[in-house]
A and B are shown apart, each in its own frame.
Chain A
Amino acid sequence: AQSVTQPDIHITVSEGASLELRCNYSYGATPYLFWYVQSPGQGLQLLLKYFSGDTLVQGIKGFEAEFKRSQSSFNLRKPSVHWSDAAEYFCAVASNYGGATNKLIFGTGTLLAVQP
């Protein structure tokens, strides 16, 4: 069965420091992978997605993620964190129903705190 693991429940970084959030997936075929961000009291916003092609994908707000098939990973990175990046981050893999529409399997999330 498909699954997503985010091993870090909580991470604290200093403003201006680099960031890497880990995500590992389990999926038999080529996965569709996503990173979403959830600010307090808000819904989920798509940061970036990987379907195929270039394994390094760029997203909004200066985020990027790299798909590594050999490691079953899709880690999210940002070179310099801003205080407004404090939020919860969810990795997800799409499980195909057999058609065009997919069921998202979410990880448990990583809560990011940013120190001034």
Chain B
Amino acid sequence: DAGVIQSPRHEVTEMGQEVTLRCKPISGHNSLFWYRQTMMRGLELLIYFNNNVPIDDSGMPEDRFSAKMPNASFSTLKIQPSEPRDSAVYFCASSDDRGGETQYFGPGTRLLVL
């Protein structure tokens, strides 16, 4: 299995620009999680999908952030407009409800907003 795939691995953009992060979960997994990791706040859950439906988005910082999961094999996290404080590593993870407790993480996208 290829594991969770994220793209891009690195993104440098200017403040005000739109940023789109992409995630392909492990085939057969029906839960998908987006996390953000910063030095100040550690690992934070942003949003969680189950069977392509957003279940808990209480961690999404503000309206500038949005996430979609149009099908079982693809999800996006969009930031529009981006701000320097959004600079972080964004991780996607997936899990299978049948063994549901273990989440498998992608390599992350390192975002720098100038």
Contacts and interface: CB of A to CB of B under 8 A. Distances in A.
Interface residues of A, number: 23
Interface stretch (A10-18, A38-46, A60-68): A38-46
B108 A43 contact: yes
Nearest to A102: B101
A106 B101 contact: no
Contacts of B100: 99-102
Is the interface on chain B under 10, 10 to 19, 20 to 34, or 35 or more residues? 20 to 34
Given A32-B101, A49-B102, A51-B101, A101 B42 contact: no
Interface string A65-101: 0000000000000000000000000100010010111
B14 interface: no
A112 interface: no
Contact of B43 (A45, A90, A102): A90
A19 interface: no
A43 B107 contact: yes
Interface string B32-71: 0100000000110100101000011000000000000000
Given A36-B105, A49-B102, A101-B50, 7 more contacts: A32-B101, A42-B107, A46-B103, A94-B101, A99-B97, A100-B98, A104-B33
Interface of B: 4, 31, 33, 42-43, 45, 48, 50, 55-56, 91, 93, 95, 97-98, 100-108
